Chains A and B, each alone.
Chain A
Amino acid sequence: GENVEQHPSTLSVQEGDSAVIKCTYSDSASNYFPWYKQELGKRPQLIIDIRSNVGEKKDQRIAVTLNKTAKHFSLHITETQPEDSAVYFCAARGTGGGADGLTFGKGTHLIIQP
């Protein structure tokens, strides 16, 4: 099955600086890579996703890049703000033809220092 590795487990950055979280996946057949933000006591919220036919996607301060050859993808947050503090999960989904669930990375606790 799919295995997703995520680094770092904790990331502390100064407000206004950029944050980068990296993930690798094992199944070359995976074709969908979402990123979720989870605040304490709340559900995971989809913040951005990328499909395997695209190398980069951007949405305001958030961007995701995908390198299919190397099987890794990254989340980039620019101009970080206090409300960006949360746990971020990357995930990968395969192409089983039916309804495959997501395999999540272990999460990154992002701390924005004022």
Chain B
Amino acid sequence: DTEVTQTPKHLVMGMTNKKSLKCEQHMGHRAMYWYKQKAKKPPELMFVYSYEKLSINESVPSRFSPECPNSSLLNLHLHALQPEDSALYLCASSLLPGQHSGNTIYFGEGSWLTVV
């Protein structure tokens, strides 16, 4: 099973709303990632969690708040977003170097976010 599951698939939210994106994997991966992808652009790394600890934050605004409750789950809490935050948000996971060649990164289907 190489599945990374994301919910919801589509989300429309107002600029004053609070919402969350959820991601789940059961592959035993100890690295999990959030990427943002705008139309016709490559995915851009936002956050990396390694062993449930935040290891990389690519200078993402605080209106995006990640959370890793356990080794299988990754959330992205959204608050006071702007219309320019509308994008495809991709969750991904991988093994770590200590987990026998932790290179391949598997992407979920993504959550399409529209901020109105």
Q: Which residues of A pack against B, CB within 8 Å?
A: 32, 34, 36, 42-46, 49, 51, 87, 89, 93, 95, 97-107
In the bound complex, what is the Cα–Cα distance between A98 and B106 (angstroms)? 17
Selected contact of B42 from candidates A32, A42, A97, A106, CB within 8 Å = A106
The distance in angstroms between the C-alpha atoms of A54 and B103, with both chains bound, is: 14
| Pairs A–B under 8 Å by Cβ, sample size 25 | A32-B103, A34-B103, A43-B108, A43-B109, A43-B110, A44-B107, A45-B107, A49-B103, A51-B103, A89-B43, A93-B103, A93-B105, A97-B97, A98-B50, A99-B31, A99-B48, A99-B55, A99-B94, A101-B45, A101-B58, A101-B105, A102-B45, A104-B42, A104-B43, A107-B40
User: Does chain A have a CB within 8 A of B100?
Assistant: no
Is B15 an interface residue, CB under 8 A from the partner? no
- Considering the chains assembled together, what is the distance between the CA atoms of A51 and B50 in angstroms? 22
CB within 8 Å of A: which B89-116 residues: 90, 94, 96-97, 102-110
List chain B positions with a Cβ less than 8 A from chain A. Answer: 30-31, 33, 35, 40-45, 48-50, 55-56, 58, 90, 94, 96-97, 102-110
A103 CB contacts on chain B under 8 angstroms: 45
* Residues on B with beta carbons closer than 8 Å to the beta carbon of A42: 109
Closest to B2 in A: A46
Residue of B nearest to A89 (CB): B42
Known A101-B56, A104-B42; contact A49-B48, beta-carbon cutoff 8 A:
no
Given contacts A43-B90, A44-B90, A99-B31, contact A106 B104 (CB under 8 A): no
Return the chain A residue nearest B4 by Cβ: A43
